Structure 1
Amino acid sequence: MELGKMDTSRRNEPTYLVWSIFNTFCCCWPLGIAAIICSCRVNNANSLGDAGKAQESSRIAKNLNIASLVFGLIGLIMVIVVVVIQNSNM
């Protein structure tokens, strides 16, 4: 390999680790923990050069993060609705 040129033949899949941590603390912690585990699997597979496992784990981590965010938003909306209903009955 020539000096100054990077090896772009190996593609690293995104880990979504930061998103997973955010979802664990702010949205839905059970799905967030599962997403963190899958994100770590992506990182390990990227390190080992296992593109198939990295791609599959990355897809699962992304889907878990989307589900966690949706459940968190639904929960937040439900809490707001309950608070508004309780305050309107006073």
Structure 2
Amino acid sequence: MDQAFAPVYAQAGSNGCLHAVHPVSIQLHPHVLNQHNQPVVIVQPSANMRHQPQAKPVPDYMGYSIFSTLCCCLCLGLCALQYSRDTRSANAAGQRREAAKSSQTALILNHVAVIVGIILLGAYVLNTFYLSGQTDS
């Protein structure tokens, strides 16, 4: 390639302005040139980050969350179900601290959902059998 027709590259200077740089003026390290005196592209290999599954994963309480969603309190059960899914995802990613935090939240929400369900069931039974029987007399 003739030097007169070589492309000119823009390079940022120390004052922030772009300056024209001729390719011949670029100095490369000797190890970067191949036998034909052409630049060689060096690519860093990608790092594969694989998390090993934990020997004893944190419990996700998925079954308990499904039960509390269907049988006790829908709102709290759905929230507990989401935290159970977060626990399962964190276990798969090897993030034990996040899994433990989500697992604890799911367990608390499930307990509260069951308690709310029992209170609502008790109120329904009380209303059906005790209070409705008094209006008939």
TM-score scaled to structure 2, two decimals? 0.58
Distance in 2 (CA, whole Å) between partners of 1:11 and 1:20 is: 20
Residue 121 (structure 2) aligns with: 76
Q: Which has the higher helix share?
A: 1
Distance in 1 (CA, whole Å) between partners of 2:86 and 2:70 is: 20
CA deviation map 1:43-78 (0-9, x unaligned)? 000000000000000000000000000000000000
Aligned length: 84
Name which structure has the greater RCO, CA cutoff 8 Å, separation 6+.
Answer: 1
Structure (1 or 2) with the larger CA radius of gyration: 2
Q: Which has the higher strand share?
A: 2
State the percentage of identical aligned residues: 30
Unaligned runs of 5+ in 2: 1-51
- 1:60 pairs, out of 77, 97, 105, with 105
Name the aligned partner's letter for residue 134 of structure 2. S
Q: RMSD of aligned C-alpha atoms? A: 1.7
Q: 1:88 offset after TM fit, Å? A: 3.0
TM-score scaled to structure 1, two decimals? 0.87
Give structure 1 regions of 4+ aligned residues with deviation exceeding 4 angstroms.
Answer: none
Is residue 11 of structure 1 aligned with residue 56 of structure 2? yes
Unaligned runs of 5+ in 1: 1-6
